[in-house]
Amino acid sequence: MKRNAIICAVLLTAVVAEAKNVDLVTLPGRDSVQLTIYNSEDLTLAKETRYVTLKKGANQLQFSWANTLIDPSSVELRLLDHVDQVEIADTVFPGQKPQHLIWNIESKFEGQVKMEVTYFTSGLTWSMDYVAISDPDETMLQFDGYVRVYNNSGEEYDNAEIRLIVGKINLVEKIADLARRRGIPVPLEPSGPHRLMQRDAVRKAFADAEGAADDMDASRTEAAGIVKEGISEYFMFTVEGSETIPNGWSKRMQAVDTEDVTFDIVYRMRAHQYGPRPVRFFIWRNDAEHKLGDSPLPDGQVNLFRDNGDDGLSFLARQQIRYVPIKAEIEINLGPDDLVVYETNRANVKRFNFSFHRNRVNGWDETAHWIDTIRNYRTKPITFELRRVWHGDIDYDSEIKTTLFDYRTPEVTLTVAARSKKQYPATVTQHHGVNAKQNRVKLKR
């Protein structure tokens, strides 16, 4: 497979400024590659180590990155051996050769040195997705999380150590924009036949990689583990071992594997938020009590299934979740449930306490009796949360303990027994016109 980012030891020591048409170079291979991929930006920090043989005196190292999305301003060379004897004199970006740079190196040492090249590239991204499978009784979940790494960078990275950064960083310029400056071409979409060739090649690459591993008697027998650690405000997932992700491909690996996660089922009636019917939620927390909590959960899509008790699944819901910090709640909205019915009825309207200005009504109070009825046809009791937004100056009274979610939203949590109904009565007095002194709900008890 073609490598695009190449480092060359230029054996000719002619002056760089002169145009040269004939070069003789050696091509030191990558010793190791580490990719640190950020998901908040199209940014990857690539770190390669290579061995280069230097002679005493002036040496030139050429680094080129045709058809890749590397930010030239980010390319750095660091010596890992013989640091006292080798010095990087300068870095030259030849005008006539885009996507090239040359390091002029002064060496007091002759022989092999280990170097590290780092650069920012784009086109490598990652995302997270989750699969949750509830047991048939809807009491426990199998909760799995997967990282999927996409390589559209134009470069093949074989056996790379992959690190994934969870968190939002600040960039003042996009790496892809920096890479595209000076009319530098970007990787093209592969053609159909080329795709087939690529796919065959990649199958072979996978096979070769595995075969090689087998030869070493160390073939992968389990999914790669993901090591999680906190760094500053961010979290880093490191994929154990190394992975090969050919250009254009993506690879999905398991990062979270948790069984027996308990969860709560809650119904919510919030017409202003979820519409006219109550919706069903599965709720659990990213904490130790729920066998999670060893890292935040990055943004990602959750596909929620239920084991139907017959080796099969039922598809319950799909939802995009936002970053879930440790100990925070995960809420999955399953939508309306035909087996839980909510109705509301308003009656007994009375008006009183009229105010007049020049014999015209300009203020009054009005009471009405509201009855909300919840019917539960499920075989288990349900928890039902009811919130309703009121506008204006409201006095609110219910015999059932009610609290205020905010200044205008009473909320109540009810338990409705299996196959039964429950009523929630409330008397609402609204002050109108000049009688309205506030814009809030006041609970009478």
Partner 1 sequence: MRTRTLLIAALAAAIGVSAPAFGRIKLATLPVRERVEIRLDNPHFTLVEEERIVPMLKGTNMIDFSWSNTAIDKNSIQFRPIAIRQGKKFRPIKTVDRPSGAKALEIRVINVAYPPNENALVWEVYSDEPCAAKVRVSYVIANLTRSFSYRALANRDETFLTLRKYIQLRNYSGEDFGGSGVWAGFGPKFHKQIGHQEDIKILLHKFDKVPVEKTFTFDWYTHGPLNPDKPLASRVLMHYRLTNDEKHGLGLFPLQPGKVRIFIADSRGGEAFLGEDWAALTPLDDKMKLYLGESRDVVCTRTIESNQRIDVRGNLHHQEIVLKYEIENFKDKPATLQIVEQLNRLAREYGGDPHGDVEWEHGAKTSKEIRFEFEHGGALPMLLIDLPARPKDKDAKVEKVVVRFHVIIKNLW
Binding to partner 1 by residue 207, rule CB under 8 A? yes
Name the minimum Å distance from CB 68 to partner 1.
16
Q: What is the 8-class DSSP label of residue 207?
A: H
In the three-class reduction of DSSP (H, G, I as helix; E, B as strand; rest coil), residue 215 is classed as helix
- Among the listed ranges 38-46, 112-120, 155-163, 315-323, the one in contact with partner 1 (CB under 8 A) is 315-323
Residues whose CB is less than 8 angstroms from the CB of residue 427 and which lie 6 or more positions away in sequence, other chains included: 367, 368, 369, 370, 396, 397, 398
Name the minimum Å distance from CB 380 to partner 1.
16
If the CB atoms of residues 84 and 215 are measured against partner 1, the closer one turns out to be 215
Name the minimum Å distance from CB 91 to partner 1.
34
Binding partner 1 (rule: CB under 8 A), the pick from 22, 172, 312, 445 is: 312
The secondary structure of 254-302 as a DSSP string is: EEEEEEEEE-EEEEEE-HHHH-SS-EEEEEEESSGGGT--SS-B-SEEE
- CB hemisphere CA count around 86 (13 angstroms): 25
- Among the listed ranges 53-61, 67-75, 89-97, 212-220, the one in contact with partner 1 (CB under 8 A) is 212-220
Sheet holding 440-443, edge to edge: 340-357, 360-376, 420-433, 393-397, 440-443
Binding to partner 1 by residue 274, rule CB under 8 A? no
Name the minimum Å distance from CB 187 to partner 1.
11
In the three-class reduction of DSSP (H, G, I as helix; E, B as strand; rest coil), residue 203 is classed as helix
Binding partner 1 (rule: CB under 8 A), the pick from 78, 195, 322, 391 is: 195
Binding partner 1 (rule: CB under 8 A), the pick from 221, 232, 320, 379 is: 221
Which CB contacts under 8 angstroms, 24+ apart, belong to 396-399? 396/426, 396/427, 396/428, 396/429, 396/441, 396/442, 396/443, 396/444, 397/426, 397/427, 397/428, 397/429, 397/443, 397/444, 397/445, 398/424, 398/425, 398/426, 398/427, 399/425
Query: Which of 222, 219, 223 shows the shortest CA–CA distance to 207?
Result: 219
If the CB atoms of residues 96 and 359 are measured against partner 1, the closer one turns out to be 359
- Among the listed ranges 14-22, 97-105, 156-164, 202-210, the one in contact with partner 1 (CB under 8 A) is 202-210
**Binding characters for partner 1, 369-388, by CB under 8 A (x = yes):** ------x-x-----------
For residue 82, give the H/E element and its range. Answer: none
In Å, what is the CA distance from 280 to each residue of 95, 141, 269, 292, 332? 63, 16, 9, 23, 8
In Å, what is the CA distance from 272 to each residue of 24, 331, 345, 388? 72, 18, 18, 8
Q: Please, which of residues 55-114 interact with partner 1 by CB under 8 A? A: none
**Binding characters for partner 1, 118-157, by CB under 8 A (x = yes):** -----------x-x----------------x---x-----
> Beta-carbon neighbour count of residue 313 at 10 Å?
14
Name the minimum Å distance from CB 393 to partner 1.
14
Name the minimum Å distance from CB 346 to partner 1.
5
If the CB atoms of residues 33 and 162 are measured against partner 1, the closer one turns out to be 162
- Identify whether the C-beta of residue 389 lies closer than 8 Å to the C-beta of residue 408: yes
Using CB under 8 A as the binding criterion, the count of chain residues that bind partner 1 stands at 69
Measured distance CA(223)–CA(243) in Å, rounded: 11
If the CB atoms of residues 28 and 190 are measured against partner 1, the closer one turns out to be 190
Binding to partner 1 by residue 303, rule CB under 8 A? yes
**β-bridge partners, 121:** 44, 70
Binding to partner 1 by residue 260, rule CB under 8 A? no
Q: How would you class 69 by CB atoms within 10 Å of its CB: exposed for 0-12, middle for 13-18, buried for 19 or more? A: buried
- Identify whether the C-beta of residue 164 lies closer than 8 Å to the C-beta of residue 234: no
**Binding characters for partner 1, 322-361, by CB under 8 A (x = yes):** -------------x--xx-x---xxxxxxx--x-x-xxxx
If the CB atoms of residues 56 and 195 are measured against partner 1, the closer one turns out to be 195
**β-bridge partners, 428:** 368, 396
If the CB atoms of residues 261 and 316 are measured against partner 1, the closer one turns out to be 316
Name the minimum Å distance from CB 212 to partner 1.
5
Q: What Rg do the C-alpha atoms of the chain give, in angstroms?
A: 32
Name the minimum Å distance from CB 253 to partner 1.
5
Binding to partner 1 by residue 254, rule CB under 8 A? yes
Binding to partner 1 by residue 217, rule CB under 8 A? no
If the CB atoms of residues 103 and 143 are measured against partner 1, the closer one turns out to be 143
Positions that interact with partner 1 (CB under 8 A): 129, 131, 148, 152, 189-190, 195, 198-199, 202-203, 206-208, 210-212, 214-215, 219-224, 243, 245, 247-254, 301, 303, 305, 308, 311-316, 318, 335, 338-339, 341, 345-351, 354, 356, 358-361, 364, 366, 368, 375, 377, 432
